[in-house]
Structure formats: C-alpha cells, structure tokens
C-alpha cells in the first residue's frame, strides 16, 4: 500500500508549527524540507527551529544542502526517522549514511531529474530509501515530470530488496494513481494538501486514489 506523505516547505516558523500540528492529526508520516539557501536560492526554517519533533509521527527530513556534513550534528540530535540527502550535493554521502544508520536514522538518497540511478549505484545500494525528485527545488505546486517514473524500474533492478522508493514533485489527484502503480511506495504531496481548504479531506482523497486498483470508472 502506497503511503501519502504531507510535505512542509516554509521559511516561517509559525507556518511550520501550524502545519506540523495540523498534519499530525491525520498523517502518521510527514516530510519536512530543509533548504539552507546554497543548494537552492530559497531557505526554510533552520533545523534548530524544528525541534522537538512530535512523538507518534514518523518524520522524513529532506535536506537540500550542498554540505550535509555541516548539519550532521544537528540532524543526529533532531533524530528524524529518515534523512534524505541529494546525490548532487558536494560531498561523499557514504560516510554520512553510515553515521545516520549508526544513530538509528534511515538513510535516504534524492535524485534530481538529470541524475541516472546507474551512475550512483554505490549510494543506491547503501540507502534505505531513494526519492525520485520530479518537481522544482524549493517550490510546491509545480508540474510533475512523469517521465521520472521510469527510474523506479531501474532502482528496483539495482537493489531488488530492502529499498523503499519515494516520489516528490507535483503529485495530485490527477496523477497520484499513475505514480503509485509504478511501485513507488511513498508519495510526498505538497500544495495538494497544504493548499487545500480541508487538508485532512485532501489527504484522504489522495490516499484513496493512490490505492485504487484497475481501470478507473
């Protein structure tokens, strides 16, 4: 069964806290995006403003940074369930993955559209989760690049067992079923939930659509 995961992307501490509290009422897993203004031009609330993370909710931390090692001490202290780092960052991720796993944090790898999974096999094999990034960095509400779905097959061929595959970028009611049926187990959703009048109802509708089998009537 595909997991639908609400995503938080904001530079306002009050919005961060409000969305985190609201999403935790109906979702058991939430992704928090962290941007420091170097990997992208945008920046979000700092890691220090994210503590403490709520209990009873699995938090995925998606770090869009150039030097993840710079933030490793804060991440280890924050202790999300999963920490996702970009293959395109400026550092070797294998030692960082090792430190994350040693601390009981699952290691995630994010792949931008131009990055071919076969070129980063060592990272894929070391990761617990690979995020297919199919949107625009630092933005919600963009259009999904559905051609990126093909990466799911490649990732499964590289690591047939023990790999969770996720999606981030432009997921909505019109395309979530297609994404889910590509054996993508985690679909992160931004504006389709955060921008809805009733986020809980939007979440349920997305979950139901992702889980729908067969031809839609």
Residue 215 inside a domain? The answer is: no
Q: What is the mean pLDDT of residues 132-158?
A: 91
Residue 58 belongs to a domain: yes
In this prediction, residue 140 has a pLDDT band, given cuts at 50, 70 and 90, of: confident
Condensed to tens digits (0 to 9), the pLDDT of residues 36-52 reads: 999 998 999 999 999 99
What's the confidence (pLDDT) of residue 217? Answer: 44
pLDDT of residue 215: 53
Is residue 189 in some structural domain? yes
With beta carbons less than 8 A apart as the criterion, state whether 110 and 133 touch. yes
| H or E element that contains 98 | helix 94-102
* CA triple 199-205-209, angle to 5 deg: 145
- Supply the pLDDT for residue 214: 55
216, part of any domain:
no
Domain of residue 126, residue span: 3-210
User: Shortest CA distance to 108 belongs to which of 31, 20, 36?
Assistant: 31
Q: Rounded to whole angstroms, what are the CA distances from 66 to 23, 37, 44, 109?
A: 28, 9, 15, 14
Round to whole Å and give the CA distance between 180 and 182.
5
For the cut 70, the answer to whether the pLDDT of residue 62 exceeds it is yes
Q: What contacts 214, CB < 8 A, 6 or more positions away? A: none
**pLDDT range class, residue 213, cuts 50, 70, 90:** low
Q: Would you put residue 186 in left (φ > 0), alpha (ψ -120 to 50) or beta?
A: beta
Which residues are CB-contacts of 114 (< 8 A; sequence separation ≥ 6)? Answer: none
Q: Which two tokens stand for residue 60?
A: 């995925």
The total domain count for the chain is 1
The CATH code of the domain that includes 199 is 3.20.20.70
Within a domain: residue 191?
yes
Q: Is 158 a member of any domain?
A: yes
| CA proximity to 133, closest of 190, 55, 195, 58 | 190
Length of the chain: 217
Scored b (16 or more CB within 10 A) or e, 2-35 reads bbbbbbbbbeeeeebeebbebbbeebebbbbbbb
Q: In this predicted structure, what is the pLDDT of residue 191? A: 94
Does a structural domain hold residue 30?
yes
């Amino acid at each position: 069964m595909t997991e639908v995961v609400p995503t938080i992307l904001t530079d306002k501490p009050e919005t961060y806290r409000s969305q985190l509290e609201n999403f935790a009422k109906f979702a058991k897993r939430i992704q928090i995006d962290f941007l420091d203004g170097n990997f992208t031009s945008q920046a979000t609330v700092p890691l220090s403003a994210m503590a403490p993370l709520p209990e009873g909710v699995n938090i995925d931390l998606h770090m869009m940074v150039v030097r993840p090692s710079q933030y490793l001490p804060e991440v280890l202290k924050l202790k999300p369930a999963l920490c996702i780092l970009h293959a395109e960052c400026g550092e070797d991720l294998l030692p960082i993955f090792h430190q994350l796993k040693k601390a009981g944090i699952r290691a995630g790898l994010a792949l931008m559209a131009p990055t071919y999974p076969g070129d980063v096999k060592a990272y894929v094999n070391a990761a617990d989760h690979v995020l297919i990034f199919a949107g625009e960095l630092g933005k919600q509400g963009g259009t999904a690049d559905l051609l990126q779905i093909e990466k799911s097959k490649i990732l499964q061929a590289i690591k047939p067992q023990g790999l969770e595959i996720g999606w981030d970028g432009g997921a909505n009611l019109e395309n979530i079923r297609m994404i889910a049926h590509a054996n993508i187990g985690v679909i992160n959703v931004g504006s389709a939930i955060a921008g809805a009048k009733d986020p809980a109802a939007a979440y349920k509708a997305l979950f139901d659509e992702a889980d729908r089998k067969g031809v839609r009537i």
